[in-house]
Amino acid sequence: MDFDLSAEQKLLIDSVTAFGERHFFEGAYADEEPDGYPHRFLKLLASQGLTGICLPESHGGQGGSLFDAVLAIEAMAQVSPRAADMIQATNFGAIQQIAAYGSDSMRAKFLPAILAGDKIVSVGMSEPNAGSATTEIATTATRTHNGVRIRGGKTFNTNGAHADVWVVWVRFGPGTRNIGCVLMERGTPGLEVNATSKFMSGEPYAILSFDDCLIPEENVLLDRDGFKKLFTVFNIERLGNAARSLAHGEKALSMSIEYLKSRRQFGEPLANFQGLRWKIADMKVRLESAKMLLYRAAVDADKNDGIPNPAYCSLAKLACNEAGFFAANEALQLFGGYGYAAEGPIQYIFRRTRGWMIAGGTVEIQRNQIAAHLLGKPERKEDRS
């Protein structure tokens, strides 16, 4: 296996890094901007061709690979976490679901505005009683003579506070075969968007309530056997999560190296102390190992028409989540009071990496998926009777 990046991939990383430093570096490690969503970021990213990197040109995308998008997210996340989130949102997640399963008219209606940075799309998936157990979603979709009525609610809706449209996972009937999704547009009668809550990272999330929301039939994205299809795309989103976890860990490592070289205690640089040197070595080993798993998952998906291997995705997400958080946690210790200070970047990286161990499928869920791939699903008591 060739572990060297191509000249084009190296150029992509360099150009994304330079673009990020030029436009997004100031205030990059501060919490959510007080004036709300920085829409100007989206327009800049679109102008640079960083939206729809891995979407087909026929859908308005750049026609690049999934690996290209992962590299772009990783590069940008080391400069501006918020800008990297936007690359994620305009390449993975909800936009992938619309591109993969939407009708021609649905793609024509929604994708151009999202890719141009004019509209924001989000996923309505988690519910108060259906987090990791997505099979237990209770939001219902009922067909009527004049459309489809949606009842229920969603929580922990990333980007939902500012979204213009949501891909909402719904239940058309009992069982997983009747789980699908619809597109819900802001302003739909009966839709309430509560955007007063925030994650520990400072990022706002929305709580969505659907009180007999009537949507047109053409806004139904999937109405049957959607669960398996949706998770194929959701595994792609997990790679974006992993890329940002990895990148923040890499940033924590590079900052730690510079700090140990420049900070002096007891008359010599901290870089001379063996116990601290070992921390740097441990951070590097975990991050490099995680990176190989992430890159393998992305490259393998590209070789299979963009369809990711679920086991590879779980391995990558678990490894990157834990390596990123480990590096952030060690960096905080190395920086001491400066790392713990609220105004410093290390504490922000720490909070960010901690959140990704929950979002997109917890690290425990990833372990379950990996074990199921190796051992099969656990035998239930009722299966033995």
Q: Which residue did the predictor score with more confidence, 73 or 237?
A: 73
Going by the DSSP 8-state scheme, the letter that residue 155 receives in this structure is E
CA 54/CA 67 separation, integer angstroms: 8
Strands 121-124 and 165-171 turn out to be: parallel
Tell me what pLDDT residue 38 has.
78
Tell me what pLDDT residue 382 has.
53
Q: Give the architecture-level CATH label for domain 7-115.
A: Orthogonal Bundle (1.10)
CA 56/CA 238 separation, integer angstroms: 20
Do 72 and 53 meet the contact criterion of CB atoms below 8 Å apart?
yes
Instruction: Give Cβ neighbours of residue 161 (< 8 Å, ≥ 6 apart).
Output: 37, 193, 195, 204, 205, 206
Nearest to 103 by CA among 235, 217, 260: 217
Using pLDDT thresholds of 50, 70 and 90, give the confidence band for residue 133. confident
User: What does the domain layout of the chain look like in residue ranges?
Assistant: 7-115, 121-224, 228-375
* Residue owning tokens 């501060």: 30
Q: Which homologous superfamily is 121-224 in?
A: Butyryl-CoA Dehydrogenase, subunit A, domain 2 (2.40.110.10)
Would you say residue 229 has pLDDT above 80? yes
Using pLDDT thresholds of 50, 70 and 90, give the confidence band for residue 312. very high
What percent of the chain is predicted at pLDDT more than 70? Answer: 97
Using pLDDT thresholds of 50, 70 and 90, give the confidence band for residue 339. very high
Token digits for 8?
């084009």
Domain 228-375: assigned CATH number: 1.20.140.10
Give the ranges where 116-224 is alpha helix by DSSP (H).
Answer: none
Would you say residue 63 has pLDDT above 60? yes
**Summary count for the chain: helices (H), strands (E):** 13, 10
pLDDT tens digits, one per residue of 32-57: 665 567 788 899 999 999 999 999 99
CA 236/CA 301 separation, integer angstroms: 9
Which amino acid type is present at position 319?
A
pLDDT tens digits, one per residue of 158-214: 888 899 999 999 999 998 889 999 999 999 999 999 988 889 888 888 999 999 999
Q: Which residues pair with 210 in a beta bridge?
A: 152, 191
Tell me what pLDDT residue 228 has.
80
Would you say residue 380 has pLDDT above 80? no
Tell me what pLDDT residue 384 has.
47
